[in-house]
Amino acid sequence: MSEAHTVNVAIVGASGFSGEELIHRLLQHPHAKLVAVTSRKFAGQTLAQIFPRFASDPVADTLQFTEPNIGSLAEAAKVVFLALPHGVAAEFAKPLVDAKIKVIDLSADFRLNDSDVYEEFYGNAHPEPKLLEESIYGMLELHREAIRNSQLIASPGCYPTSIL
């Protein structure tokens, strides 16, 4: 597929386990171009420096971790993955959605569409309850069309995925 058919993608929280695995998959994806990775801890260092396993990829020597910045992410990417803990992801989701960026959240922040249920399970109020109404549970087998058209996708967890 040509370069014109690729989508610029960013990862917020790319230095954790989920972020590293997502980097691996996106570097191999024929329709994704990884253009930004964020980590406060590793800002200024390249993918190859932090994850030597990616050193053979041409992007690894040039793509540097940056501090998370909504404006820069919105300018660079059409899709932003949030590889952040629950409770933290929502604070990034809101301004990215407002900037018309497609957000795929790997945390649990948007898996439940009811803020009362979220509070019951997670012990605190949801930081962006209005976004719960907009998010789509990202299980393709159940919501393929809605996912295609959604701006905020909640990645399903491992237990529900195996059960459903």
The set of catalytic residues is 158
Q: What share of the chain is helix, strand, coil (3-state, %, to 5)?
A: 45, 20, 35
Sheet holding 152-154, edge to edge: 65-66, 32-38, 7-12, 79-82, 102-105, 152-154, 136-137
Q: Give the separation between CA 139 and CA 114, rounded to whole angstroms.
A: 18
HEC secondary structure over 4-44: HHCEEEEEECCCCHHHHHHHHHHHHCCCEEEEEEECCCCCC
Q: Which residues pair with 79 in a beta bridge?
A: 9, 102
Burial class (CB in 10 A: 0-12, 13-18, 19+), 91: middle
